[in-house]
């Protein structure tokens, strides 16, 4: 198993994979690519060197196979069965299988919850990740289904990761938008952004949730915020477990149809 990093989100995916491996009586070996394509491919190459006995791979690739032809070709050429965890296969993936969170549904769930609380000017604020396009689709589908108007372009929609100056700037824009009645709720991806954002908003006089309702996506840290935030929780443990189960089934029955699974996230509602 190879994952991009070990400090956020993926530890629970790995825990799920480990639990399934133990239950099935198979050995799990873990590598961390540190979000580097070269390291990812080098790790896999080392894992497959004889006499490792590696029978199959569970991978969370650095790049999205659906938009990276190089990644898709590399996956297709690997000599053992492959299951992607929290990545989706592309159209030319061959017999590569995948298990991933239905992030579109997660965003839809959050917007529907906020609308049910009487919010009508709902924004999506997120960092640029491989998950972002899927959240955007779910957000737009929900806004259309609920007949809600998109927020003004003055309401920020994108944050730079690990950039405090950008966070301060976008927070100031959001404060103005709240005071001018342009936004009354926001879905924030992810928790590592949501917590400092909420702190800055409160320091600027915005009351959470009276002035602005906040739902965070990932639900890693949302319960620790002040006030605790409602969070969309991807089924990380189940993703890891199902990936291992799919791989073992493939090894036991090489001729079975290739599977592509979508697991729906949960909404943990907090005051």
Residues 126-146: pLDDT tens digits? 999 999 999 999 999 999 999
Q: Which of 201, 129, 124 is nearest to 161 (CA)?
A: 129
Indicate whether 231 pLDDT > 80: yes
Percentage of the chain lying above the pLDDT 90 cut: 91
Q: Which of 171, 165, 106 is nearest to 141 (CA)?
A: 106
pLDDT confidence bin for 209, thresholds 50/70/90: very high
CA 134, CA 159: separation in Å to the nearest integer? 16
- pTM (predicted TM-score): 0.94
Residue with tokens 């709240």: 178
Mean pLDDT across 207-225: 95
Check residue 155 and report its DSSP letter.
S
Q: Rounded to the nearest 10 degrees, what angle do helices 10-24 and 236-252 cross at?
A: 40
């Amino acid at each position: 198993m190879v994952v991009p990093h070990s400090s956020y989100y993926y530890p629970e995916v790995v825990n799920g994979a480990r639990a399934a491996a133990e239950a099935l009586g198979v050995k799990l070996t873990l590598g961390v690519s540190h979000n580097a394509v070269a390291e990812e491919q080098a790790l896999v190459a080392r894992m497959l060197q004889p006499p490792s006995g590696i029978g199959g791979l569970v991978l969370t690739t650095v790049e999205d196979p659906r938009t990276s032809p190089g990644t898709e070709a590399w996956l297709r050429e690997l000599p053992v069965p492959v299951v992607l965890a929290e990545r989706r296969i592309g159209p030319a993936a061959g017999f590569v299988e995948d298990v991933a969170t239905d992030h579109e549904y997660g965003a839809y769930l959050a917007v529907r919850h906020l609308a049910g609380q009487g919010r009508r000017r709902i924004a999506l604020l997120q960092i640029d990740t491989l998950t972002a396009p899927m959240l955007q689709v779910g957000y737009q589908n929900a806004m259309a289904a609920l007949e809600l108007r998109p927020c003004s372009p003055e309401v920020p929609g994108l944050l730079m990761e690990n950039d405090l100056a950008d966070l301060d700037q976008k927070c100031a824009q959001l404060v103005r938008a709240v005071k001018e009645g342009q936004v009354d709720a926001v879905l924030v991806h992810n928790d590592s952004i949501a917590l400092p954002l909420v702190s800055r908003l409160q320091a600027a006089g915005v009351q959470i949730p009276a002035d602005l309702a906040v739902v965070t996506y990932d639900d890693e840290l949302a319960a620790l915020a002040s006030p605790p935030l409602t969070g969309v929780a991807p089924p990380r443990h189940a993703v890891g477990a199902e990936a291992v189960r799919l791989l073992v089934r493939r090894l036991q029955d090489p001729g079975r149809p290739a599977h592509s699974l979508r697991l729906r996230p949960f909404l943990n509602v907090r005051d």
